[in-house]
Amino acid sequence: MNFNKKFLKSRNFVVCVLVFMLVVVCTINYQFSKQSMLETSSDLEEYEELLSAENENIDVDKEEVKETANENIDSNIDSQEIKVVDSNKSEAEEKVKETTANITKEMASKENMQKDTYFIDIKMNREKERGELIEELDAIVKNPSSSKKSIEEASNMKLNLVKFREAELNIESLLTAKGFENPVAYVSENNASVVVDREKLNKDDVAKIFDVVYTQTKLPFENIKIMECKR
């Protein structure tokens, strides 16, 4: 009986010890778990803050990219508009030069001079080329992209064409009155060309023609070209 009591006491003691150890282990484990959770939570917060900052940077970068792209687009549009406006002036000048070159080339062509209809053809070609030039100048004046300067230049060129045409008619009329048959004249800003229906011109004839052309154009003699074409 005494043995049993001792055994029970001994067993109870062991159980108590085990229970105590279990409590201690659980407590220690809980503390470690709590500490680990706190560290994990702290890391998570730092990660979320970092992620949020990166998202903000990304949003800022997107806005900067959009602004840069818009600026580039606006710049390209402005450049294109400037090119269009600036090209109007050179286009008008080139067209005037081209018209002058075409008419003077047709007037001086030996092949054309062999034709019975030479004088009529040259006058018709002159009017045709001038008409096309006026249309080109009108297009510049009516173009919404044309600058004020370009419009003024094109308008002045049109006025000059009227003056040149008037000078040509006066030259032809005055030369006819002086005995030259079928005269054809072409006047541009810096030059004048005249063809008369003569096989050979003498010095007096040349002097008369120079005098008439100079009176109507005020161009120097070296800028006046005189040609014969006997029909």
Assess if residue 118 is contained within a domain.
Answer: yes
pLDDT higher than threshold 60 for residue 8: no
Assess if residue 192 is contained within a domain.
Answer: yes
Domain extent, residue 189, equals 86-228
Express each pLDDT in 112-128 by its tens digit.
999 999 999 999 999 99
Assess if residue 135 is contained within a domain.
Answer: yes
Assess if residue 18 is contained within a domain.
Answer: no
Give CA angle at 117 (166, 133), nearest 5°: 40
Please, are residues 194 and 209 in contact by the beta-carbon 8 Å criterion? Answer: yes
Please, are residues 208 and 224 in contact by the beta-carbon 8 Å criterion? Answer: no
- Mean per-residue pLDDT for 203-225? 96
CA dist 168 to 109, 121, 176, 187, 190, Å? 20, 16, 12, 6, 14
DSSP state of 115: S
Please, are residues 154 and 92 in contact by the beta-carbon 8 Å criterion? Answer: yes
Asked whether the whole model's pTM tops 0.85, one would answer no
Overall domain count for the chain: 1
Assess if residue 70 is contained within a domain.
Answer: no
Determine if residue 182 is left, alpha or beta; phi over 0 gives left, psi from -120 to 50 gives alpha, anything else beta.
left
